[in-house]
Amino acid sequence: MNFPTLQYFSTLKSALSVLFGDAAIARCHRISGGDSNEAYSLVLTDQTTVFMKVNSQKNASYFEAEAAGLAAIARTGAIRVPHALGFGTEKGSSFLLLSFVGNGKRVSEYWEQFARQLAAMHRAETKGLTPGSSFGFFCDNFIGSRPQVNTLCGSWTAFFRDFRLEPQFRSAESYFDKKTRKEIGRLMDRLENILVEPKRPSLLHGDLWSGNFLTGDDGRAWLIDPAVYVGHAEADIAMTELFGGFAPAFYDAYREEGLLQPGYERRRDLYNLYHLLNHLNMFGPSYLSSVKRIIGTYV
């Protein structure tokens, strides 16, 4: 599967000139939300609205990775995502330009449609995303502000152990006492007795909580801020349940799609251990008790 190279621009002015001709910025509005980037809506003189993310120049690779993730989701044809227009650097900053997703009124059966579209994405072909293997992604990316390693692997259990939990445990080592380190070792040794291999590999959004989807002008769900990789569909659903959860209708509809395997509820917290460890490494010890609680339930 070939992905188009995201066009690089040396200045925002040159990006707008190439992408929109003579149009220039008429109005710029700061948009709140997001932990990693500043966000703006740019209204151009031709009345086009563009969404722009801004980060430091050294973090321009965040935007290349995000664009690759959006392109992977878009190619499934299953669910909507913004279109990455281009990225660049200017005066010590980096920027990513995206098509603007409006804020519409949700259609009837919104949650059911969202679930079925996500399930269709999870059923989509993944071979071109993981050449020669089943799990991972053709490039590394980021989970929040931290690197996410997507080394290709033939086993879901091995991938989740070696490229999800292990790097996070290593980064968080200073938080753990001797007792917890022993429990971590026991957990890692018995992952094969807890996790199951999926019936088919799935493209995952990778960071699917309530802050990473929008309702567009069309009234339907749009996915944003992906941390994509190919894995077990259950990991995406587990993440939706971590910080408050989605509407019950979403889960009822998704279960009807048959992608959750028996025992999912037993595995859910283990999938979310990855995200809680990542939050521990990003934000500090307020997440430590949750991490230790989950470790304790599996050893």
Predicted confidence at residue 62, as pLDDT, reads 93
- Residue 139 counted as domain residue: yes
CATH code of the domain containing 274: 3.90.1200.10
Do 147 and 289 fall into the same domain? yes
Do 277 and 225 fall into the same domain? yes
For the cut 60, the answer to whether the pLDDT of residue 99 exceeds it is yes
Confidence of residue 229 (pLDDT cuts 50, 70, 90): very high
- Residue 104 counted as domain residue: no
- Residue 30 counted as domain residue: yes
- Residue 294 counted as domain residue: yes
Do 90 and 135 fall into the same domain? no
Predicted confidence at residue 7, as pLDDT, reads 87
Average pLDDT over residues 225-235: 98
Predicted confidence at residue 35, as pLDDT, reads 67
Domain boundary among 66, 99, 132: 99
> For residue range 272-292, what is the model confidence (pLDDT) as tens digits?
999 999 999 999 999 999 999
Confidence of residue 297 (pLDDT cuts 50, 70, 90): very high
For the cut 90, the answer to whether the pLDDT of residue 182 exceeds it is yes
Percent of the chain clearing pLDDT 70 (strictly above): 98
Confidence of residue 95 (pLDDT cuts 50, 70, 90): very high
Do 237 and 152 fall into the same domain? yes
Domain boundary among 99, 129, 161: 99
- Residue 1 counted as domain residue: no
- Pick the range with the lowest mean pLDDT from 126-135, 172-181, 257-266: 126-135
pTM passes above 0.85 = yes
207 an active-site residue? yes
Do 142 and 212 fall into the same domain? yes
Predicted confidence at residue 139, as pLDDT, reads 93
Residue 289: which domain range? Answer: 110-298
> For residue range 254-276, what is the model confidence (pLDDT) as tens digits?
999 999 999 999 999 999 999 99
Do 40 and 171 fall into the same domain? no
Predicted confidence at residue 133, as pLDDT, reads 87
Do 260 and 131 fall into the same domain? yes
- Residue 3 counted as domain residue: no
For the cut 90, the answer to whether the pLDDT of residue 5 exceeds it is no
Residues 168, 162: Cα–Cα separation, whole Å: 10
Do 174 and 196 fall into the same domain? yes
Q: Which of 35, 140, 207, 218 is catalytic?
A: 207
Q: pLDDT averaged over the chain?
A: 95
Domain boundary among 75, 99, 123: 99
Predicted confidence at residue 51, as pLDDT, reads 96
